[in-house]
Structure 1
Amino acid sequence: MNQNKFFLRRIRTHFHGGYGGSFHFSPSLQAENMGIPLPKWVTEEIEKDPDLAYTDQWGRRNYEYLSLGCDTLPVLKGRTPVQCYADFMRAFRDNFKHLLGDTIVEIQVGMGPAGELRYPSYPEANGTWKFPGIGAFQCFDKYMLSSLKAAAEAAGKPEWGSTGPTDAGHYNNWPEDTPFFKKEGGGWNTPYGEFFLTWYSQMLLDHGERILSSATSIFDGAGVKISVKVAGIHWHYGTRSHAPELTAGYYNTRYRDGYLPIAQMLARHGAVFNFTCIEMRDHEQPQDALCAPEKLVKQVALATGAAQVPLAGENALPRYDEYAHEQILQASSLNVDGSPVDREMCAFTYLRMNPSLFHPDNWRRFVAFVKKMKEGKGARRCWEEVEREAEQFVHVTQPFIQEAAVALMH
């Protein structure tokens, strides 16, 4: 039950890259900040049973998405959350069937907060979390704890099933501030930590399997691609524990690849792996937080290549400068050691369509950027040459751009 259950890509331009693969490019509105709440009938059920909401160790509830611990339980007036998700997808298909495969060519299926396959471990509402905090585990509602208890008993360690880690710090701690995530002797790298993190991440993978099974069945033959968004959690990536990724449900550490299982799950359903932070460079981020977005994107590229699943991307922050555009071009070409040389991203979503995009200088750079994306990685040219070619298009479109900028300001 996500506030952004679907993000529909309306394709403005359809490119063919240098290797014959289709390349989708779609400017996007800032959908995730629209603040659309859960349906009233769902919040009424949460009021009756607060454990339907994700819960942290301090009892704080999160109402962005229903806890995946109750995915298959008839907690919504006799129906399971997964049944409700399926009903919504089916209704969407029936109401928009005349647009599917033409205007609507891709459906991004929401898997969690902000539509992403993750736990709501770093909620920004009310200042609970601030970058680059490690976040917090979201497994303290009764449904998640019931699953944890069963898993611990099945592993022959019932003492591990009474609660999640209580020594993993608070939302805004750093890894070394906590016993669980610290570099030396941290609980994350113990038999208990391995058990807990395996269970926590598997619950997320199972949730993705259930939702994708419904989605692929419902939209079979509709002429649309199904995609899933995975968060680009790049802060503290340079540490051993990768704490922010762990609290979000990605069991990715210095010693374990947490993105290959996700890619393999998506591959089983023929879904697109959509990843963010494509525009970021390592040195632009706070160095003391050991941020590494470029290394993270490379890891995801390798994982999707190994799983043979298409990789799509988007920028995490609004950027209109050539430096960010160049990074997007580089990342989308997937020039990563170990990846097939003829592989590139299958799609890119440009954030965001707002008045700033239509500022004359930004629009000129944007047009040149689109032209270079269209050419594919086999024919990349210098910015000056492409921008000269783009000037004619900028001149022709000026009246429309001015109209669009005015419309978006209202």
Structure 2
Amino acid sequence: MGASFKALELAGVEGVVLELWWGVVEGDAPGVYDWRGYTDLVSMAGHHGLKVRAVMAFHQCGSRPGDPYWIPLPRWVLEEMDAEPNLAYTDRIGQRSKEYISLSCDNLPVLKGRSPIQAYSDFMRSFRDSFKDFLGSVITEVQVGMGPAGELRYPSCSSEKLKRPNSAPELGEFQCYDKYMLASLRACANKVGMHELGYGGLLRASSLFQNVEETNFFRSDGCWNTDYGRFFLEWYSGMLLLHGERLCIVTKAIFLQTGVKVSAKIAGIHGHYHTCSHPSELTAGYYNTLTRNGYLPVALLFSKYKMFLCCTCFDMQDGEEDGSSKSSPEGFLRQLVYAARMHNLSVSGENSITRLDDRSLKQVIRSSRLYSVGAHEASLSFNYVRMDRHLFDPHNWPRFTRFVRQMSDAKTFQAKLDFSGRERRLYSMSATDKVIRSFVYH
């Protein structure tokens, strides 16, 4: 690791990103934190003049395609979820996900007398106090996890189903069938006089891989665009935004006056983007359709608390996707960047697939320029995911360094590079005028 950091330093890398896993640090008992290992990595980064972006990882790792290792939620949390299955997200057929605790329990004392929000807050306070000598100097940014894969979303697609080879993009399943979510839905339905919607969750929901136009809810003239559908989707997405706001509030308060910037991540969901209903986004919690911009409320939320917005898809082109799925990563990214610019919100981009081919690297450059149009005070950074032994292969490293030079040669910005590995990311920042372009290697 020391040799890798030295190489990155010589390459002009700005800093590294560390994912600090809840299941590792507080894995054995509630309130008992073990930061060893992470302390060594932060010290090593500082020794080589590298900055650190620290990710508060409150989710499970290892169940998604491409995850490099397995880290579950803390053992004592899983014991609570086994005793009370309704702490897990649940879909209409009763499948439960243990990637992240259901947001419906945010303020309930279900974790040995603490609520999930209290547990997340205590974890971040322990991190702040344990790394106080590094905050603002070595550790310059904190990213708070808000859901599965650290993203503000519902686990709308089963991890096992995602592993199906050559499968079409999933519609997703609404995650509103644990008893706490149903109680919230019932209360909201009663409040507005739609009592029939408050019992049993969403009616006429569709299966994960069903054709969009064969569904009652998502087809062009489906229930999504009725009073019934609009009420449900506003409640469902509103619960997600409320969860995000709770975490924004506590994170900003904990790291106030520490000298670090705070960020959060949303998912780059682009399957079925060129349909009227955008089903993959709806089931994930983003109320984005042909007639409604679902990313403006998210951008407004992060802007309200002066947080960076992180997202993927910077390396993807529409032509790479199956045309029959009506997927559009470029369309998604344009819409998200527009929403961020509307609220003068700083963005940190990522690649969706680990690769170093010229086509994807050139696409990153094109995508980065989306944010450089016009004058605004916000910044754009890029996180390259991820570091492994292949990065330093003789045929990859020259291409990677050439990519850095290409970004640096662009007229709108200059770039240095910063790096992190398996539990660290690499990102670089430099600025011309008010625009910052960063590279991050994960």
Q: How does the TM-score come out when normalised to structure 2?
A: 0.77
Alignment pair present for 1:173 and 2:210: yes
Cα gap change, 1:128/1:158 in structure 2, threshold over 3 Å: closer, same or farther?
farther
C-alpha distance in 1 between matches for 2:72 and 2:90: 18
Distance 2:401 2:324 in 1: 36
- C-alpha deviations, 1:90-143, integer Å up to 9, x for none? 011111122222222211110000100000001323657755111100010000
Cα-to-partner distance string for 1:227-253 (whole Å, 9 max, x where unaligned): 111110011000000000000000000
Structure 1: stretches of 5+ with no match in the other structure? 16-23, 381-410
Q: 2:174 aligns with which of 137, 152, 155?
A: 137
1:354-375: CA deviation from partner (whole Å, max 9, x where unpaired): 1222222221111011122234
Following the alignment from structure 1 to structure 2, what is the Cα–Cα distance between the partners of residues 140 and 2? 26
Instruction: Tell me if 1:160 matches 2:194.
Output: no
Higher helix share: 1
* Code of the aligned partner of 2:275: T
What amino acid sits opposite 1:365 in the alignment? R
> Are residue 213 (structure 1) and residue 213 (structure 2) matched?
no
Q: Are the counterparts in 1 of residues 97 and 155 from structure 2 also a CA contact under 8 Å?
A: yes
Pairing 1:347–2:381 present: yes
Secondary structure, counterpart of 2:399 in structure 1: helix
Give the whole-Å Cα distance in 1 for the aligned partners of 2:309 and 2:387. 23
3-state SS, counterpart of residue 349 of structure 2: strand
Cα distance, 1:33 vs structure 2 = 3.9
Counterpart check, 1:52 vs 2:94: no
Q: Map of 1:183-194 to 2, 5 A cutoff?
A: 183-184=220-221, 186-194=222-230
- Aligned twin of 1:276: 312
Distance 1:128 1:198, change over 3 A: farther
Tell me: CA distance 1:374–1:127, structure 2 relative to 1, closer, same or farther (3 Å): closer
The answer on 1:263 being equivalent to 2:307 is: no
Check whether the contact 1:333–1:345 (CA below 8 A) recurs between aligned residues. no
SS at match of 1:360: coil
Tell whether 2:277 aligns with 1:241: yes
Q: Does 1:223 align with 2:263?
A: no
Amino acid paired to 1:198: E
**Equivalent residue, structure 2, for 1:232:** 268
> CA-to-partner distance for each residue in 1:160-191, whole Å, 9 max, x for gaps?
1112224221222232231110112x111110
Q: Give deviations 1:32-76, integer Å, cap 9, x for gaps.
A: 543211111111111221101100111111001110001011111
How far apart, in 1, do the equivalents of 2:255 and 2:413 lie?
Answer: 36
Quote the Cα distance in structure 2 between the aligned partners of 1:340 and 1:53. 44
The separation in 2 between residues aligned to 1:245 and 1:204, in whole angstroms, is 13
Deviation at 1:319, TM superposition (A): 1.8
Please provide the CA RMSD for this pair.
Answer: 3.0
Q: Which runs of 5+ in 2 are unaligned?
A: 1-20, 26-37, 54-60, 415-442
Q: Give the conservation status (yes or no) of the 8 Å contact 1:118–1:231.
A: yes
Q: Displacement of 1:158 after TM fit? A: 1.1
1:193-219 Cα deviation digits (max 9, x unpaired):
000000000000000000111111001
Q: Is the 8 A contact 1:4 1:114 kept in 2?
A: no
Partner residue in 1 for 2:7: none
TM-score normalized by the length of structure 1: 0.83
* Structure 1 residue 125 corresponds to structure 2 residue 125: no
State the identity as a percent. 45
Relative to 1, partners in 2 of residues 1:346 and 1:379: Cα closer, same or farther, differing over 3 Å?
Answer: closer
AA aligned to 2:319 is H
Equivalent pair of 1:2/1:112 in contact (CA under 8 Å): no
Q: Any residues of structure 2 matched to 1:384-403 within 5 Å, and which? A: none
The match for 1:72 is 107
Say if 1:124 and 1:13 are closer, same or farther in 2 by CA, change over 3 A: farther
Conservation of the 8 A alpha-carbon contact between 1:305 and 1:340: no
Residues 1:352 and 1:366: Cα distance change in structure 2 (over 3 Å): same
Change (3 A) 1:41 1:59: same
Match of 1:195 among 211, 225, 231: 231
Range 190-199 or range 172-181, more displaced: 172-181
1:2·1:113 contact (CA, 8 Å) conserved in 2? no
Question: Partner of 1:149: helix, strand, or coil?
Answer: helix
SS in 2 for 1:378: coil
Amino acid at match of 1:71: D
How far apart, CA to CA, are the structure 1 residues paired with 2:149 and 2:195? 34
In structure 2, how many angstroms separate the alpha carbons of the residues matched to 1:194 and 1:217? 34
Partner of 1:386: none
Query: Partners in 1 of 2:367 and 2:359 — Cα distance?
Result: 12
Q: Secondary structure at the match of 2:132?
A: coil
1:318 deviation in Å? 0.8
Q: Give the match for residue 36 of structure 1.
A: 71
2:89 touches 2:178 (CA, 8 Å); kept in 1? yes
Matched, 1:361 2:395: yes
